[in-house]
Amino acid sequence: MGIEIERKFLIVGSDWRQTAVGTTYRQGYIVADRERTVRVRRAGERGFLTIKGPGDGARRLEFEYEIPIAEADEMLATLCPGPLIEKIRYWVDYQGFTWEIDEFFGENRGLLLAEIELADEHQIFARPSWVGAEVTGDHRYYNACLARSPYANWKE
Amino acid sequence: MGIEIERKFLIVGSDWRQTAVGTTYRQGYIVADRERTVRVRRAGERGFLTIKGPGDGARRLEFEYEIPIAEADEMLATLCPGPLIEKIRYWVDYQGFTWEIDEFFGENRGLLLAEIELADEHQIFARPSWVGAEVTGDHRYYNACLARSPYANWKE
């Protein structure tokens, strides 16, 4: 399924909300370590199983499969230890790119992240005013890490 | 999908070969521990991703999804550490049940296992003459364990 190339940023302000359309996500991890991640996700009324390789800056090997929602729920309940990630994902179009914005709840309440998927790491894109500091490659902001070490615990 | 109930046996002799039809399997593990297994399998020209819960005797939670063969190969090459399991799986019908017989190669050469899938743990079935000692629930014979600790290393 190929390589995922993403850059990730903090969010500044709330101007992005004006045109945002969102879906509730609930996800957990069958395994999540430096070498591999197996994620179960409920996205609205759809289920997904996603395998990712080692995180290496913006590039990451990724395979994603849609699965029956009942099976996703069963795996989340029985095979995903630790607190689940709960968030609303919004999609915002800006000058030819679609930004994905995650607003976290539960133990990660207060955290907002924006991601953009690129064809290559150095592709040029316009930066909306609400895009703040880049955190691409910072493992603390990986969702798998947020499940183990939630934002509420590492804020100063 | 759902609960897998299987009993597993060693094989005696080779009478089972007469009517057996086989397919080459190649499989590895993205993760394999007591609590969960994520297996990638190439079965003939088809690919599968299988998630299993904790092994508890004959019963086990299992979810299986067919995936593109090229993606199975890519995951086997990049995300499955350790030696892969290589075997031929044969199917043998006997008095209303289909037995699965695995003949292992590579580091597990010499090992032959027969499995029967049941509707419940105590279901009665006829035992063919070539079925030997039962090893259901013996973790050493789990394929995930055979990948880490192959038969060649634990034969007396």
- pLDDT tens, residue by residue, A99-153: 999 999 999 999 999 999 999 888 999 999 999 999 998 989 989 899 889 998 8
Partners of residue A79 in chain B, C-beta under 8 Å: 35-36, 51, 53, 61
Mean pLDDT of B105-118: 95
Mean pLDDT of B121-148: 92
A3 and B CB contact within 8 Å:
no
The count of CB pairs under 8 A between chains A and B is 55
Distance CA B92, CA B131 (A): 12
Partners of residue A51 in chain B, C-beta under 8 Å: 30, 38, 49, 75, 79
**pLDDT (tens digit, 9 = 90+) per residue, B68-93?**
999 999 999 999 987 899 999 999 99
Q: What is the pLDDT of residue B154?
A: 84
Quickly list H helices, A15-123. 69-78
DSSP letter for A2, please: -
Report the relative pairing of strands B97-104 and A112-117 from DSSP bridges.
unpaired
Spatial neighbors of A155 by CB under 8 A, at least 6 apart, are A110
Mean pLDDT of B18-33: 91
Q: What is the pLDDT of residue A154?
A: 84
Dihedral angle sign, alpha carbons of residues B93, B54, B42, B25: negative
Distance CA A45, CA A66 (A): 11
**pLDDT (tens digit, 9 = 90+) per residue, A56-105?**
667 788 999 999 999 999 999 999 987 899 999 999 999 999 999 999 99
pLDDT band at A19 (very low <50, low <70, confident <90, very high): confident
Partners of residue B62 in chain A, C-beta under 8 Å: none
C-alpha distances in angstroms, A105 versus A26, A114, A127?
10, 15, 26
Partners of residue B49 in chain A, C-beta under 8 Å: 49, 51, 65
pLDDT band at B144 (very low <50, low <70, confident <90, very high): confident
Residues above pLDDT 90, as percent of chain A: 72
List B24's β-bridge partners, or say none.
B88
Q: Which of A4, A31, A37, A62 to mutate to test the interface with B (most CBs of B within 10 A)?
A: A31
Q: What is the pLDDT of residue A156?
A: 57
Q: What is the pLDDT of residue B155?
A: 61
B67 and A CB contact within 8 Å:
yes
Mean pLDDT of A25-46: 94
Dihedral angle sign, alpha carbons of residues B71, A147, A88, A23: positive
**Tokens 């493992």, residue located:** A139
C-alpha distances in angstroms, A155 versus A32, A110, A111, B108?
22, 10, 10, 51
Specify whether the CB–CB gap between B55 and B142 falls below 8 A: yes
Considering the candidates B25, B29, B90, B141, report the single residue annotated as catalytic.
B29
Distance CA B77, CA A122 (A): 28
Q: What is the pLDDT of residue A103?
A: 97
Closest approach of chain A CAs to the CA of B6, in angstroms? 20
Mean pLDDT of A3-13: 91
Complex ipTM above 0.85? no
Mean pLDDT of B132-136: 96
Res B116 pLDDT > 80: yes
Q: Which class is B3-153 in CATH?
A: mainly beta
Domain ranges of chain A: 3-153
Considering the candidates A25, A29, A94, A142, report the single residue annotated as catalytic.
A29
Give the residue from chain A lying closest to B76, CA to CA.
Answer: A53
**Tokens 């499995």, residue located:** B115
Q: Identify the CA nearest to A38 among candidates B145, B96, B65.
A: B65
Question: Is B29 among the catalytic positions?
Answer: yes
Distance CA B142, CA A90 (A): 43
**A62 vs B34, residue with greater confidence:** A62
